[in-house]
């Protein structure tokens, strides 16, 4: 049996192209499983997983929990709010106390970039990064690639435009690595203030014109403005952002050829996407969410074999 080259999933940067293909191929099998009347398999019956979330989440947390339950793992959930973190307990003490209860794997979201990498160096359990600050969100990028595969057959050779707040987005960085490793071309598009200065060094195209990006791409992956991570004003107002960078159904309908619309969520309706675009036939946003469970099942299953 093929196995991953790493015992943690900390970022896409650390994965090989064959790791990515192995995860996506395994996810395809799990997607069939979760669409059966009996959605559960006994693969992780003796494994206990803790979902440790120091930052808010809807999709990622529920998706990991469902993936774990579909694999028959035992699951515990930890939220920093309401925990002893509020009394000053450190990250490492918190996690070591969770591990003392015979937990085998930690899925962690944290606002500090590198927090899961730090943890992986200090604990014996497998660590899965569920988003670390503005750094990486590897399972989001994997589920995005899985969704492109399902819709367009392959990722290789496709043109993907990532549109929005690139500077503050962990989804953007993980997607750039994931798409390029599979042979896709990537463009980032947004206001100059929301695109890191030297991002072209990663081999991506840069545009500040949303219509140019939409005309160029096969897939538009639209990101929200992360106001919670912005200490200064990067553009005059949300209304102005929406005017210059917002995408409507009409803009998509008027393109010469159909493109696929993606968004990792949560959507700020009326800012980066109008509601009619988000809910249009161009959109595969809810397919991404469905695919997230299968992709996370694949990640957890493959890590548990190591
Ligand atoms: N896409 C994503 O990470 O969503 P949540 O913040 O709700 O988990």
Residue pLDDT, tens place only, 253-300 = 999 999 999 999 999 999 999 999 999 999 999 999 999 999 999 999
The CA distance from 259 to 195, in Å, is: 23
Q: State in Å: Cα 140 to ligand 1 middle.
A: 8
Is 127 within 8 Å of 64 (Cβ atoms)?
Answer: no
Q: How large is the average pLDDT for residues 134-146?
A: 98
What are phi and psi for residue 147, nearest 5 degrees?
-70, -40
Res 168: pLDDT: 93
Pocket test for ligand 1, best of 60, 64, 296 (most atoms within 8 A of CB): 60
- Other C-beta atoms lying within 10 Å of the C-beta of residue 183: 12
Q: Could you tell me what percent of the chain has a pLDDT over 70?
A: 99
Res 232: pLDDT: 66
> Where would I find the beta strands (DSSP E) of the chain?
48-53, 74-79, 105-110, 126-132, 159-163, 185-189, 205-207, 219-222, 260-262
97 CB less than 6 Å from ligand 1? Answer: no
With a CB cutoff of 8 Å and minimum separation 6, the contacts of 9 are 15, 127, 128, 129, 138, 139, 299, 303
DSSP H/E element including 151:
helix 138-152
Q: State in Å: Cα 68 to ligand 1 middle.
A: 17
Q: How large is the average pLDDT for residues 231-248?
A: 88
The CA distance from 38 to 46, in Å, is: 20
Res 241: pLDDT: 93
What atom of ligand 1 comes closest to residue 61's alpha carbon? 8
Beta bridge partners of residue 161, listed in sequence order = 187, 220
Q: Which of 36, 87, 197, 198 is catalytic?
A: 87
Can 137 be counted among the known catalytic residues?
A: yes
Mean pLDDT across the chain: 96
Q: State in Å: Cα 234 to ligand 1 middle.
A: 23
Q: Which of 137, 149, 224, 296 is catalytic?
A: 137
Q: How large is the average pLDDT for residues 159-171?
A: 97
Confidence category of residue 236, pLDDT binned at 50, 70, 90: confident
The CA distance from 306 to 293, in Å, is: 21
Pocket test for ligand 1, best of 53, 55, 56, 58 (most atoms within 8 A of CB): 58
111 CB less than 6 Å from ligand 1? Answer: no
**In this structure, what token pair is assigned to residue 5?**
């080259």
Res 305: pLDDT: 95
The CA distance from 233 to 208, in Å, is: 18
Whether the domain at 12-136+289-304 and the domain at 138-285 fall into the same CATH topology: yes
Q: Would you state the CATH architecture of domain 12-136+289-304?
A: 3-Layer(aba) Sandwich (3.40)
Q: How large is the average pLDDT for residues 166-175?
A: 97
Q: State in Å: Cα 254 to ligand 1 middle.
A: 30
Can 282 be counted among the known catalytic residues?
A: no
248 CB less than 6 Å from ligand 1? Answer: no
Res 82: pLDDT: 84
Can 60 be counted among the known catalytic residues?
A: yes
For the ranges 59-63, 86-90, 156-160, 185-189, which has the lowest average pLDDT? 86-90
Confidence category of residue 101, pLDDT binned at 50, 70, 90: very high
Q: Which of 31, 70, 109, 158 is catalytic?
A: 109
- Other C-beta atoms lying within 10 Å of the C-beta of residue 124: 6
Q: How far is CA 201 from CA 25, 27, 176, 204, 228, in A?
A: 30, 31, 12, 7, 27
Residue 234 pLDDT > 90? no
Residue 227 pLDDT > 80? no
The domain locations on the chain are 12-136+289-304, 138-285
Q: How large is the average pLDDT for residues 81-105?
A: 95
Res 228: pLDDT: 75
Is 172 within 8 Å of 138 (Cβ atoms)?
Answer: no
| Matching residue, tokens 């606002």 | 111
The CA distance from 213 to 215, in Å, is: 6
Q: State in Å: Cα 126 to ligand 1 middle.
A: 21
Can 121 be counted among the known catalytic residues?
A: no
Q: How large is the average pLDDT for residues 106-129?
A: 98
Q: How large is the average pLDDT for residues 227-244?
A: 82
**In this structure, what token pair is assigned to residue 72?**
């028959």
- Write the residue with the smallest CA distance to atom 5 of ligand 1: 57
Domain 138-285 has CATH 3.90.1150.10: no
Is 258 within 8 Å of 197 (Cβ atoms)?
Answer: no
How many residues are listed for the chain in this entry? Answer: 306
Is 39 within 8 Å of 33 (Cβ atoms)?
Answer: yes
For the stretch 2-27, what's the b/e string if a residue is b when 16 or more beta carbons lie within 10 angstroms of its beta carbon?
A: eebebebbbbbebbeeebbbbbbebb
């Amino acid at each position: 049996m093929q196995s991953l080259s790493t015992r943690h999933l900390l970022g896409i940067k650390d994965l090989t192209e064959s790791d990515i293909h192995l995860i996506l191929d395994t996810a395809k099998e799990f997607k069939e499983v979760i669409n059966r009347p009996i959605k559960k398999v006994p693969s992780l019956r003796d494994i206990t997983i803790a979902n440790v979330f120091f930052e808010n989440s809807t999709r990622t947390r529920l998706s990991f929990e469902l993936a774990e339950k579909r694999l028959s793992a035992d699951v515990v959930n930890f939220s920093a709010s309401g925990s002893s973190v509020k009394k000053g307990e450190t990250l490492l003490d918190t996690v070591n106390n969770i591990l003392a209860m015979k937990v085998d794997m930690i899925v962690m979201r944290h606002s500090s970039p590198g927090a899961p990498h730090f943890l992986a160096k200090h604990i014996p359990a497998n660590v899965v990064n569920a988003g670390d600050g503005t750094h990486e969100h590897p399972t989001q990028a994997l589920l995005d690639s899985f969704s492109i595969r399902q819709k367009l057959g392959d990722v290789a050779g496709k043109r993907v435009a990532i549109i929005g707040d690139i500077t503050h987005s962990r989804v953007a960085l993980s997607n750039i690595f994931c798409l390029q490793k599979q042979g896709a071309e990537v463009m980032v598009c947004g206001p100059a203030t929301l695109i890191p200065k030297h991002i072209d060094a990663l081999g991506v195209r840069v545009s500040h014109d949303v219509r140019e990006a939409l005309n160029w791409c096969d897939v538009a992956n639209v990101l929200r403005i992360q106001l919670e991570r912005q200490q200064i004003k990067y553009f005059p107002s949300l209304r102005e952002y929406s005017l210059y960078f917002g995408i409507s159904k009409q803009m998509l309908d008027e393109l010469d050829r159909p493109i696929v619309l993606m968004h990792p969520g949560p959507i700020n309706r009326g800012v980066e996407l109008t509601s009619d675009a988000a809910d249009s036939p161009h959109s595969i946003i809810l397919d991404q969410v469905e695919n997230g469970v299968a992709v996370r099942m694949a990640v957890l299953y493959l890590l548990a074999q190591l």
